[in-house]
C-alpha cells in the first residue's frame, strides 16, 4: 500500500513537472523540495519567486508604517433622534388645512394642519352630555341634602341623589379621559380646538419640516405620518463597528469625520452612543457620533468615514504592521518573515492589539524584518496543508 501511494505521488509530481514544462511556467504552489522544517525547528514555506506577483504576495519591512494608531470606520449621516419628531394623528380624519411646507422652520406648538374627525365630534358630544348630567345631578344632590336637614325629605331620597351624582361624575370623568386620549378638548374651549370634530396637528419640537406627506383634502389614517420635523444642524454619523474594534470606541471620545462628497473638508464630533447589542449576522454594533452642521453643508444620507485616535500604550516604540499580515494558525497568531526571495519563515508573534487595519506587535518580530503584508492568507493555506 505504501509503495502504491509513493508511485502515485511520484507520478503526480512528474505530471505536474511535465505540464509546467509544456506551458513554460512553474505551477503556482509551494515547491515540492521545500523542507517543512529547518534544523532549528523553524517552519518554512517556499514558493517559486516568479509566482509571487501572480499570487498577490507583497513584502515590506515591519514597522515601516509609523504614526498614530488610527481606526477608520465607514457610515452615513442621520438626523439626531433626540431632536426628531414624526407628527401624525391617533384617529382617521380628512385634512382641511395645511399651514406649512417642507423646509419651513417651526416652533414648538405651532399649527401644522387641521383635520375634521367624526369620531372626535361624537366624543365631544358625549362629553357635553355627561357634563350637563353631572351638573344636574350635583344640583339635585345639594337640594336633597338641604331638604334632609329641614326634615322635608327622606334619607332614602338623599342617598339616591348621592348615587346619581356619583355616577354622573364618573361618566363625566370617562368622557373627559376619552377626549384627552384623542388629543382634543371641549368644543367651546382649549387651544387645540376650533370647533366640534376638528383636530389640530401642532409641532412637538422646534426645528425644520424636513418631510411633508400631508395633502389638503386627503384622508389621513392613524398609522400614517403627516410631517417629519428635525434639527438639520444636529446630525449624527451612524457607524457599523466590528466586534474586534468595539473596545476602542468609548462614549465622549473625539473623532474626525470625512465626507467623500466634500473632499478636503473635515468635521469634528464626539462618540455619543455605542449600542450594547452585536448583530448576529453582521458581527457589528452601531455607534453614533454627534456632528454639528452649522454651515448646512452636510445632508442626511451622505456616506462618511469616521476616524478615531486610539490610546497610546506605555511603550515608546510601537511596532505597527498591517492587520492582514497577522494570520491565525491553530491557537497562534503568526506572520511570514521573508528569509530569501520566495522563502518565508512562519513566525509566532504576540499581538498587543489589533484593529481591522493595523496590528501592534508586542513580541516575536523585530523592526525592519521583511514580512508579507499582502497575500499572507495564501501562505497560511499552504502551511495548513503541510
CATH topology of domain 72-80+231-309: Elongation Factor Tu (Ef-tu); domain 3 (2.40.30)
Exposure b/e, 66-79, CB count within 10 A at least 16 = b: eeebebebebebbb
pLDDT value at residue 229? 97
pLDDT tens digits for range 252-271: 989 999 998 998 889 999 99
Q: 83-117+200-227: which CATH number, 3.40.50.740, 2.40.50.100, 3.30.530.20, 1.10.760.10?
A: 2.40.50.100
Sorted by where each begins, the domain ranges of the chain are 27-69+315-385, 72-80+231-309, 83-117+200-227, 121-196
> Chain-centre distance of CA 262, in angstroms?
23
Residues 74, 69, 348, 64: is their CA dihedral positive or negative? positive
Angle of helix 155-182 versus helix 118-150 axis, rounded to 10: 160
Question: In CATH, what number does 121-196 get?
Answer: 1.10.287
* Mean pLDDT, range 147-172, rounded to an integer: 87
| pTM for this predicted structure | 0.58
More confident residue, 194 or 335: 335
pLDDT reported for residue 41: 59
pLDDT tens digits, one per residue of 280-327: 888 889 999 999 887 889 999 999 999 888 766 544 567 889 989 999
Give the highest mean pLDDT range of 8-17, 25-34, 297-306: 297-306
Q: Residue 67: pLDDT band by 50, 70, 90 thresholds?
A: low
Residue 11 pLDDT greater than 70, yes or no:
no
Domain 27-69+315-385 grouped into CATH 2.40.420.20: yes
Instruction: Note the helical H segments in the chain.
Output: 2-23, 52-55, 118-150, 155-182, 376-385
pLDDT at 72 over 90: no
Tell me the pLDDT band of 195, cut-offs 50, 70 and 90: low
Rounded to 10 degrees, the C-alpha dihedral 49/53/57/60 comes to 80
Provide φ and ψ at 370, rounded to 5°. -80, 125
Amino acid at each position: 500500500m505504501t509503495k502504491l501511494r509513493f508511485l502515485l505521488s511520484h507520478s503526480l509530481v512528474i505530471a505536474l513537472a511535465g505540464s509546467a514544462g509544456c506551458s513554460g511556467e512553474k505551477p503556482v504552489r509551494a515547491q515540492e523540495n521545500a523542507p517543512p522544517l529547518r534544523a532549528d525547528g523553524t517552519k518554512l514555506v517556499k514558493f517559486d519567486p516568479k509566482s509571487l506577483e501572480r499570487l498577490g504576495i507583497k513584502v515590506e519591512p515591519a514597522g515601516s508604517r509609523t504614526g498614530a494608531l488610527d481606526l477608520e470606520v465607514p457610515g452615513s449621516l442621520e438626523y439626531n433622534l433626540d431632536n426628531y419628531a414624526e407628527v401624525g394623528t391617533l384617529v382617521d380624519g380628512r385634512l382641511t388645512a395645511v399651514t406649512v411646507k417642507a423646509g419651513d422652520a417651526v416652533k414648538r406648538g405651532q399649527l401644522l394642519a387641521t383635520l375634521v374627525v367624526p369620531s372626535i365630534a361624537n366624543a365631544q358630544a358625549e362629553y357635553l352630555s355627561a357634563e350637563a348630567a353631572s351638573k344636574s345631578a350635583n344640583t339635585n344632590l345639594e337640594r336633597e341634602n338641604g331638604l334632609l336637614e329641614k326634615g322635608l325629605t327622606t334619607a332614602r331620597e338623599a342617598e339616591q341623589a348621592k348615587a346619581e351624582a356619583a355616577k354622573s361624575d364618573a361618566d363625566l370623568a370617562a368622557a373627559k379621559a376619552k377626549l384627552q386620549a384623542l388629543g382634543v378638548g371641549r368644543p367651546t374651549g382649549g387651544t387645540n380646538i376650533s370647533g366640534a370634530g376638528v383636530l389640530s396637528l401642532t409641532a412637538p419640537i422646534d426645528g425644520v419640516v424636513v418631510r411633508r406627506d400631508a395633502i389638503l383634502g386627503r384622508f389621513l389614517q392613524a398609522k400614517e405620518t403627516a410631517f417629519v420635523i428635525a434639527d438639520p444642524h444636529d446630525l449624527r454619523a451612524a457607524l457599523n463597528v466590528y466586534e474586534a474594534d468595539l473596545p476602542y470606541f468609548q462614549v465622549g471620545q473625539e473623532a474626525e469625520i470625512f465626507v467623500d462628497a466634500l473632499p478636503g473638508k473635515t468635521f469634528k464630533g464626539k462618540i455619543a452612543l455605542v449600542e450594547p447589542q452585536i448583530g448576529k449576522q453582521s458581527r457589528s454594533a452601531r455607534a453614533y457620533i454627534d456632528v454639528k452642521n452649522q454651515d448646512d453643508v452636510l445632508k442626511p444620507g451622505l456616506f462618511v468615514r469616521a476616524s478615531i485616535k486610539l490610546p497610546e500604550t506605555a511603550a515608546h516604540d510601537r511596532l505597527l504592521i498591517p492587520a492582514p499580515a497577522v494570520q491565525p494558525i491553530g491557537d497562534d497568531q503568526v506572520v511570514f518573515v521573508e528569509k530569501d526571495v520566495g522563502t518565508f519563515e512562519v513566525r509566532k508573534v504576540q499581538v498587543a492589539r489589533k484593529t481591522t487595519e493595523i496590528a501592534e506587535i508586542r513580541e516575536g518580530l523585530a523592526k525592519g524584518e521583511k514580512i508579507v503584508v499582502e497575500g499572507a492568507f495564501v501562505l497560511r493555506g499552504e502551511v495548513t496543508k503541510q
